[in-house]
């Protein structure tokens, strides 16, 4: 029963995760590189790196803090200490009343994570209170109830650590996404500059009648569309930055932007070992631990005279095996994504080298008057786009390895866990 209620509590908590891992040393700490606009209505921009974002989320995430406080309040020692030695039943009743009073002070309860957390926690405490009241005459049963409550608190602490890891991973992914959007923005700005050169040349052609007004209008429409794309990217970046700030527990009106995202080191890639890293991932996996805990609880209540308990044990064993296979499958996918990203980076670097050679050829041709200035500028754009493609491929590889590093720490999503 407690297990089901804990699941309900965490379901309410995890719903705040956005739909949508290790940086290098020397990155900016969370409080550093802050830019405060003079206008009090403007947002505060915090420029942060990967490690700084992770530390900020793990320390300041409101979601993780709520879970840890919930686990602390469920600790039997805390309950007894809070009442100066009065009975556990009275202590539980006092907690229920205090939480109910706190819930009444929360506005918009339908949209409040804290309200849902209190609501689910109260259900857990009410079950415990009923159990204590029913077994008041039995010291052994009372002790069992306290042990169950202590076990539930431990499970919630483990869940809190897992949620903090998921939130930190999410924040880092959002940070990388912002950097990727900024690369897209640079590419569009280059396209606009190239189109402006084309429009300037087209105006001359229009004046002498070699192109139609319709063609000129097409150029202007293309430029307008690109300009709107830039505005959209700016809005997306700010929204993602606000999401990161929320995950970090920063004040409203704060956005987080990437300072410098350290690229994955070649040494880290060389040290990847599928079998060893998979074993580490399985040992650290919260979802596997959770299924093992389900099996332990089923075994604790097993009674050979009650067929249903045997079915529960077998079902828990099957679920554990399914989750282990799901972790192996997810890890294999993440591992392959890193390898694919390495190959994509290599291809982008080869293309950049070719673009360098082509540009040098264009330089010579332009110096000899063999091509126009416009053609020379187009060759420059091709080279800059090739360089940007390498930077984006490096970022994609960093993102893939980040997911891999988190997977080794036990933080990853599996189809089996999502279906539960």
Tokens representing residue 356 in the block: 């360098």
Residues 6+ apart with CB under 8 A from 315: 298
Whether 386 maps to a domain, the answer reads yes
Whether 227 maps to a domain, the answer reads no
Tokens representing residue 389 in the block: 């493609």
313-329 per-residue burial string, b: 16 or more CB within 10 A, e: under 16 = beebeebbebbbebbee
Q: Is the pTM of this model over 0.85?
A: no
Q: Give the C-alpha separation, 306 to 304, whole Å.
A: 5
pLDDT tens per residue across span 190-226: 999 999 999 999 999 999 999 999 999 999 999 999 9
Q: Which pLDDT score, from 0 to 100, does residue 36 have?
A: 43
Helical axes 62-74 vs 2-14, angle rounded to 10°: 160
Q: Which pLDDT score, from 0 to 100, does residue 74 have?
A: 65
> Cβ of 342: how many Cβ atoms within 10 Å?
19
Q: In terms of residues, how long is the chain?
A: 420
> Of the candidates 191, 208, 158, which has an alpha carbon nearest to the alpha carbon of residue 410?
158
What is the CATH classification number for the domain harbouring 372?
A: 1.20.1600.10
Q: Which pLDDT score, from 0 to 100, does residue 132 have?
A: 65
The 3-state DSSP class for residue 35 equals strand
Q: Which pLDDT score, from 0 to 100, does residue 100 have?
A: 81
The 3-state DSSP class for residue 126 equals helix
| 349 close to 390: Cβ distance less than 8 angstroms | yes
Alpha carbon of 2 to those of 10, 135, 146: distances in Å?
12, 17, 12
Whether 234 maps to a domain, the answer reads no
Question: Can you give the residue range of the structural domain that contains 324?
Answer: 264-420
End-to-end CA distance of the chain: 16
Q: Give the C-alpha separation, 329 to 246, whole Å.
A: 32
Whether 200 maps to a domain, the answer reads no
Whether 278 maps to a domain, the answer reads yes
| 164 close to 64: Cβ distance less than 8 angstroms | yes
| 359 close to 371: Cβ distance less than 8 angstroms | no
Q: Give the C-alpha separation, 217 to 52, whole Å.
A: 48
| 398 close to 263: Cβ distance less than 8 angstroms | yes
Beta strands in 11-139 (DSSP E): 34-36, 44-48
CA 373 to centroid of chain Cα atoms? 46
Segment-wise mean pLDDT, segments of 10 residues, the chain, 420 residues: 41 41 38 46 88 93 77 63 54 75 68 64 73 58 64 80 92 96 95 94 94 96 97 96 93 92 92 97 95 92 86 95 96 97 97 97 96 92 95 96 96 67
Whether 352 maps to a domain, the answer reads yes
Number of domains the chain contains: 1
Whether 60 maps to a domain, the answer reads no
Q: Which pLDDT score, from 0 to 100, does residue 146 have?
A: 66
The strand order across the sheet containing 44-48 reads: 34-36, 44-48, 254-258
Give the containing element (helix H, strand E) for 238.
helix 213-248
Whether 27 maps to a domain, the answer reads no
> Of the candidates 355, 333, 337, which has an alpha carbon nearest to the alpha carbon of residue 396?
337
Q: Which pLDDT score, from 0 to 100, does residue 20 have?
A: 38
């Amino acid at each position: 029963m407690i297990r089901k209620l804990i699941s309900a509590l965490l379901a309410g908590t995890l719903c705040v995760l956005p739909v949508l891992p290790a940086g290098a040393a020397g990155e900016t700490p969370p409080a550093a590189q802050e830019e405060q606009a003079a206008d009090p209505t403007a947002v505060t921009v915090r420029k942060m790196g990967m490690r700084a974002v992770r530390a900020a989320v793990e320390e300041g995430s409101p979601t993780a803090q709520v879970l840890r406080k919930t686990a602390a309040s469920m600790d039997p020692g805390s309950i007894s200490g809070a009442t100066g030695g009065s009975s556990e039943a009275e202590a539980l009743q006092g907690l229920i009343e205090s939480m109910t009073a706190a819930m009444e002070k929360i506005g918009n309860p339908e949209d409040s994570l804290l309200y849902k957390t209190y609501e689910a926690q109260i259900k857990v405490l009410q079950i415990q209170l009923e159990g204590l009241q029913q077994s008041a005459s039995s010291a052994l049963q009372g002790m069992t109830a306290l042990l169950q409550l202590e076990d539930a608190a431990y499970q919630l602490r483990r869940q809190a650590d897992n949620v903090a890891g998921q939130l930190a991973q999410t924040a880092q992914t959002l940070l990388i996404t912002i950097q990727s959007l900024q690369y897209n923005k640079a590419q569009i700005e280059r396209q606009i500059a190239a189109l402006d050169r084309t429009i300037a040349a087209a105006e001359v052609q229009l004046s002498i009648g070699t192109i139609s007004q319709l063609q000129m209008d097409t150029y202007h429409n293309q430029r307008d569309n690109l300009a709107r794309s830039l505005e959209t990217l700016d809005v997306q970046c700010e929204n993602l930055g606000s999401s990161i700030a929320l995950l970090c527990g920063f004040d409203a009106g704060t956005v987080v932007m990437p300072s410098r995202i350290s690229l994955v080191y070649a040494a880290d890639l060389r040290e990847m070992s599928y079998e060893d890293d998979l074993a580490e991932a399985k040992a650290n996996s919260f979802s596997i631990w959770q299924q093992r805990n389900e099996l332990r609880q089923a075994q604790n209540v097993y009674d050979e005279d009650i067929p249903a308990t045997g079915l529960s044990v077998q079902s828990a064993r099957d679920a554990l095996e399914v989750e282990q296979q799901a972790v192996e499958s997810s890890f294999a996918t993440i591992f392959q994504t890193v390898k694919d990203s390495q190959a994509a980076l290599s291809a982008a670097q080869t293309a950049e080298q070719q673009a360098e050679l082509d540009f040098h050829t264009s330089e010579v041709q332009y110096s000899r008057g063999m091509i126009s200035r416009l053609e020379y500028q187009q060759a420059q754009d091709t080279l800059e786009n090739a360089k940007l493609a390498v930077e984006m491929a490096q970022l994609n590889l960093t993102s893939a390895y980040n997911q891999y590093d988190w997977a080794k720490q036990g933080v990853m999503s599996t189809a089996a866990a999502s279906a539960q």
